[in-house]
C-alpha cells in the first residue's frame, strides 16, 4: 500500500518562522501520521515548473531557529497568471490545469500553502479547481483577515522596535528629527505597534492620512518644551491627506506589482525646509523580514503547523489555520481571499498612544 503523501510550499516574501512551519508540518506528518512530505521549491513556481523534493525528518531537524525558508519562495509566481517569453515578448498564461495535473500525478492528499493574502488567494483558487488545500498565515504585516496575528509579525516588530530604540540616542545627541520607515504595505500594524513600543513621538499609518502642518506643529512644540529631537515612525504606505502613497517601483511580472517606499524622505525634507531642524531617514526595509524568529513566532509557527496536519487528517480542507485569543482554530480560505486587515480607527492601541501623547499626524 502506497504511503499517504502531502505537499507544502512557502509563497510570497520570506518571513521569520517559515522554517519552523516546514519543520512542524514535516515532523508531525512523519511522526504522527506516517506520511511522506513533498516540498515545492520557490513557492508556486515549483508547482508550475515541477520542482520539488521529498522532505525527511533529518532534513528539517535543526531549522527551527533559522530565518528564511529552506524551500525558497517567490512573490511573483501565480499558476493562474504565469509569465512566459514567446517570440521575445512576455505572455501571461493560465497554467493552473498543468499544476493540478502535477498535484494529481503526485497523489497528494493535500497541499499546505504557507503565505499571506496573495498566497491564500491563489490557494483558494486551486481549491476551486479541486485541490485539497490548507493555508497557514504568514506575513510581517499582520494584515490577514480572520486571524488575530500571523507568525513573522512579532519578529519584525522586535526588529523595528530595537531600531527605534537605537535611533533615540543619536536623535537626542544631535537634536535631530529621525524618520523611521517600516514595512506594512497598506496596513499600519507594524508601524503602530513598534512605534508605541519604541516611544515614537509621531506615528503615521496608511489608515490615517496625515497633515504635514500638524507634523510641523508637533516638532516645533517639542522644541519649545525642551525636547530638541523627535522620532517619527512612518509606515511605507502612509500618505498625506488628499495625497497618494509613494511608489518605489512597479514590478510588472508580480501579482503585487506596486512596491511602496520612500515616503520618509519626503517627510524629512519637508520638515527640514519648514522648521530648519536637521532631519534624517532610516528605512529598515528587508531587515524586518530576515534573521532568527522570536520564541513567540517559533511557537506560533509550530502550533499552526500541527493544526494544519490535524486538518489534513480530519479531511477538513480549503481552510486556513488561525489564532483567536490563545486558541488555534481554522477558517474557510474563501473568507480570507482578496482581503486585507487594516487598523480600525477605534483600535485600542491608537487610544493608548493618544493617552500618552503620541501624535498620529492629525488632530484627534
Compute the distance between CA of residue 118 and CA of residue 350 in angstroms, rounded to an integer. 28
**What global pTM score does this model have?**
0.93
**174, 353, 354: which is closest to 277 by C-alpha?**
174
Q: Is 141 a residue of the active site?
A: yes
Question: What pLDDT does 12 receive?
Answer: 86
Phi-psi region of 338 (alpha: psi -120 to 50; beta: other; left: phi over 0): left
Whether pLDDT at 28 is above 90: yes
- Please indicate, yes or no, whether residues 77 and 142 belong to a single structural domain of this protein: yes
Assess if residue 363 is contained within a domain: no
Residues 181 and 268 in one domain: yes
pLDDT tens for 83-109 read 888 888 888 899 999 999 999 999 999
CA–CA separation, 327 vs 341, rounded Å?
19
Judged against a pLDDT cut of 90, whether residue 190 lies above it is answered with yes
- Give, in order, the Cα–Cα distances in Å from 42 to each of 102, 116, 186, 293, 297: 16, 15, 25, 20, 22
Of 105-109, 123-127, 225-229, 235-239, least confident by mean pLDDT is: 225-229
> CATH number of the domain that 137 lies in?
3.40.50.450
Predicted pLDDT at 253:
62
Average pLDDT for residues 69-93, to the nearest whole number? Answer: 87
| Residue 346 covered by a domain | no
Q: Does 342 fall in a domain?
A: no
> Which residue, 270, 289, 308, sits at the end of a domain?
289
Inform me whether the pLDDT recorded for 226 exceeds 90. no
Catalytic residue among 14, 141, 143, 201: 141
Q: At what angle do helices 189-197 and 348-355 cross, to 10 degrees?
A: 30
Based on the domain organization, do 74 and 182 belong to the same domain? no
Q: In angstroms, what CA-CA distances link 232 with 142, 216, 283, 340?
A: 21, 11, 12, 25
Indicate whether 255 pLDDT > 70.
no
Q: What percent of the chain is predicted at pLDDT more than 90?
A: 76
DSSP 3-state of 361: coil
User: How many domains would you assign to the chain?
Assistant: 2
Which domain covers residue 203, as residue numbers? 154-289
Specify the residue for cell string 513533498. 38
Same structural domain, 98 and 185: no
Burial (Cβ within 10 Å: 0-12, 13-18, ≥19) of residue 273? exposed
Same domain, 324 and 264: no
Residue 43 pLDDT > 80:
yes
Amino acid at each position: 500500500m502506497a504511503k499517504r503523501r502531502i505537499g507544502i510550499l512557502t509563497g510570497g516574501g520570506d518571513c521569520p518562522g517559515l522554517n519552523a512551519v516546514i519543520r512542524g508540518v514535516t515532523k508531525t506528518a512523519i511522526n504522527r501520521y506516517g506520511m511522506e512530505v513533498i516540498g515545492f521549491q520557490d513557492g508556486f513556481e515549483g508547482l508550475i515548473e515541477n520542482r520539488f523534493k521529498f522532505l525527511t525528518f533529518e532534513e528539517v531537524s535543526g531549522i527551527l531557529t533559522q530565518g528564511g525558508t529552506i524551500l525558497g519562495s517567490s512573490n511573483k509566481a501565480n499558476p493562474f497568471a504565469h509569465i512566459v517569453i514567446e517570440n521575445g515578448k512576455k505572455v501571461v498564461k493560465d497554467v493552473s490545469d498543468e499544476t493540478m495535473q502535477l498535484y494529481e500525478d503526485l497523489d497528494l492528499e493535500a497541499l499546505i500553502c504557507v503565505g499571506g493574502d496573495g498566497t491564500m488567494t491563489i490557494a483558494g483558487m486551486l481549491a476551486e479547481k479541486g485541490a485539497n488545500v490548507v493555508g497557514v498565515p504568514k506575513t510581517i504585516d499582520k494584515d490577514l483577515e480572520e486571524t488575530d496575528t500571523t507568525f513573522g509579525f512579532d519578529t519584525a516588530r522586535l526588529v523595528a522596535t530595537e531600531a527605534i530604540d537605537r535611533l533615540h540616542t543619536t536623535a537626542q545627541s544631535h537634536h535631530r528629527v529621525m524618520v523611521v520607515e517600516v514595512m506594512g504595505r497598506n496596513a499600519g500594524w507594524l508601524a503602530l505597534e513598534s512605534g508605541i513600543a519604541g516611544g515614537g513621538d509621531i506615528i503615521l499609518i496608511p489608515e490615517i492620512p496625515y497633515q504635514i502642518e500638524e507634523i510641523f506643529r508637533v516638532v516645533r512644540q517639542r522644541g519649545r518644551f525642551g525636547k530638541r529631537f523627535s522620532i517619527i515612525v512612518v509606515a511605507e504606505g502612509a500618505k498625506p491627506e488628499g495625497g497618494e502613497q509613494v511608489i518605489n517601483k512597479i514590478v510588472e511580472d508580480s501579482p503585487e506589482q506596486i512596491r511602496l517606499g520612500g515616503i520618509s524622505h519626503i517627510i524629512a525634507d519637508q520638515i527640514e525646509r519648514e522648521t530648519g531642524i536637521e532631519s534624517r531617514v532610516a528605512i529598515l526595509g528587508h531587515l524586518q523580514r530576515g534573521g532568527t524568529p522570536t520564541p513567540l513566532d517559533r511557537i506560533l509557527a509550530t502550533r499552526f503547523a500541527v493544526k494544519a496536519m490535524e486538518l489534513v487528517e480530519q479531511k477538513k480542507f480549503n481552510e486556513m489555520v488561525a489564532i483567536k485569543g490563545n486558541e488555534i482554530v481554522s477558517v474557510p480560505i474563501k473568507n480570507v481571499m482578496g482581503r486585507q486587515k487594516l487598523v480600525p480607527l477605534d483600535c485600542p492601541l491608537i487610544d493608548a498612544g493618544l493617552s500618552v501623547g503620541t501624535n498620529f499626524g492629525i488632530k484627534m
